[in-house]
Amino acid sequence: MKKHLCLLLAVFLALPLFCSCEKNVYPLSSTEFMMDTVITVTVYDGEADALDSAMTLCKQYENLFSRTIETSDIARINNSNGAPVTVDPETAELLKIALDIAEKSDGAFDPTVLPLVELWNVTKSTAPPEQNLITEGLKSVGYKSIHINGDTVTAKNGVKLDLGGIAKGYITDKVVENLKQKKVTSAIINLGGNLYLLGDKKGEPFSVGIQKPFGKQDEHSAVLMLKNKTAVTSGVYQRYFRHDGQLYHHIIDPKTGHPSDSGLYAVTVIADSSSLADGLSTACLILGPEKATALAKEYNAELIMITSDNQLITTDGIKYDTKNGETVLNLK
């Protein structure tokens, strides 16, 4: 009997030790390659399966939105020859956001720019395409040919969709919602540079480095202090090639069919919604500082713009500080 009691006591004493081994040690982080980019989610608290659930969600959305996955909603629309396609309600929701930004940016953001994206193919090309091919490609670009009726999407006039300029933002918003459901109050969601800073870090805002275009990887033009907001950057330095000393990058101006030449090398959009910020960042880079500022105002977003001669331009809601010789930006 005494022996049994001793055993019971030993188990009882060991239990808390065992439990503390089981407990999560924060921060917890997970990284995967998806959607042609590196995805990292870091949580500072919350339920044990929050990270797995976030990664599973990313995969599910990739299967809906990727134009290179044949069974995706987007591939089905692109292969529909103008016939109506029934899509997931979330695909319809994302397309509506994309079309709204297309409309408000006067077509600078255009989710039907695919023929030109494929023609320039900047990650593989070494020289620009012939002008006659660009002129031809431009004929099948036009967001107004996309019609949405409930969950039915029709792509008329041979247009095809590429949501590369907005899908990561939309997925970021959904991951944030999911993390909140899993009782996460502090996290960094990074979908290939598409950032959301959930909550804060021990009471302080997160600090986000704004990369210097064509600088070294850790070289920053400024540091942005942020909490409970998204920061999404479009930059000409992210994907490009050079030919005869000329830069050709991945963001195509649908008015010219050429990579944008607005005097901006990078735009970071700060907003509540990452879908919005993602679409806007692409649009603003094409529009240039003045039109970009007007567009951001319509959406209640703030901008950090870096010009081709490395000047920093910000919208009115951002204030400057310096710390250890570095420019520090805060929301007013």
**Judged by CB under 6 A, does residue 173 bind ligand AMP?**
no
- Signed CA dihedral, 235, 239, 242, 248: sign only: negative
- Of 251 and 270, the one with the shorter C-beta distance to ligand AMP is 251
**Judged by CB under 6 A, does residue 250 bind ligand AMP?**
yes
- Of 128 and 165, the one with the shorter C-beta distance to Mg ion is 165
Interacting span for ligand AMP (CB under 6 A) from 146-154, 214-222, 277-285, 290-298: 277-285
Structure tokens at 223: 């540091």
CA 114 vs CA 61, 62, 163: distances in Å: 20, 17, 9
**Judged by CB under 5 A, does residue 162 bind Mg ion?**
no
Nearest CA-CA partner of 55 in 66, 73, 43, 44: 43
Phi–psi pair at 51, nearest 5 degrees: -70, -45
Asked if residue 129 lies in contact with residue 303, where contact means CB atoms within 8 angstroms, the answer is no
- Which x/- pattern over 143-162 shows residues binding ligand AMP (rule: CB under 6 A)? -------------------x
Residue with tokens 């909550």, as numbered in its chain: 199
Q: How many CB atoms lie within 10 A of CB 155?
A: 22
In the three-class reduction of DSSP (H, G, I as helix; E, B as strand; rest coil), residue 10 is classed as: helix
Q: How far is the CB of 98 from ligand AMP (least distance, A)?
A: 8
- Of 104 and 201, the one with the shorter C-beta distance to Mg ion is 104
What is the C-alpha separation between 263 and 235, in angstroms, rounded?
12
Interacting span for Mg ion (CB under 5 A) from 61-69, 80-88, 174-182, 273-281: 273-281
Burial 113-123 (b: 16+ CB within 10 A, else e): bbbbbebbebe
Residue 252: DSSP 8-state: B
Residues 103-132 that bind ligand AMP (CB under 6 A): 109-111, 113, 117
**Residue with CB nearest Mg ion?**
282
Residue 153 interacting partner from Mg ion, ligand AMP, none (CB closer than 5 to 8 Å by kind): none
Q: How far is the CB of 186 from ligand AMP (least distance, A)?
A: 26
**Judged by CB under 6 A, does residue 138 bind ligand AMP?**
no
**Judged by CB under 6 A, does residue 212 bind ligand AMP?**
no
What is the C-alpha separation between 291 and 25, in angstroms, rounded?
47
**Judged by CB under 5 A, does residue 282 bind Mg ion?**
yes
Residue 174 interacting partner from Mg ion, ligand AMP, none (CB closer than 5 to 8 Å by kind): none
Q: How far is the CB of 280 from ligand AMP (least distance, A)?
A: 9
The correct pick among 51, 252, 301, 304 for binding ligand AMP (CB under 6 A) is 252
Nearest CA-CA partner of 40 in 273, 196, 183, 166: 196
SS3 of 179-208: HHHCCCCCEEEEECCEEEEECCECCECEEE
**Judged by CB under 5 A, does residue 165 bind Mg ion?**
yes
The correct pick among 74, 153, 208, 251 for binding ligand AMP (CB under 6 A) is 251
Q: How far is the CB of 277 from Mg ion (least distance, A)?
A: 8
Binding site for Mg ion (CB under 5 A): 165, 278, 281-282
- Give the interface with ligand AMP as residue ranges (CB under 6 A): 109-111, 113, 117, 162, 164-165, 234, 250-252, 254, 278, 281-282, 286
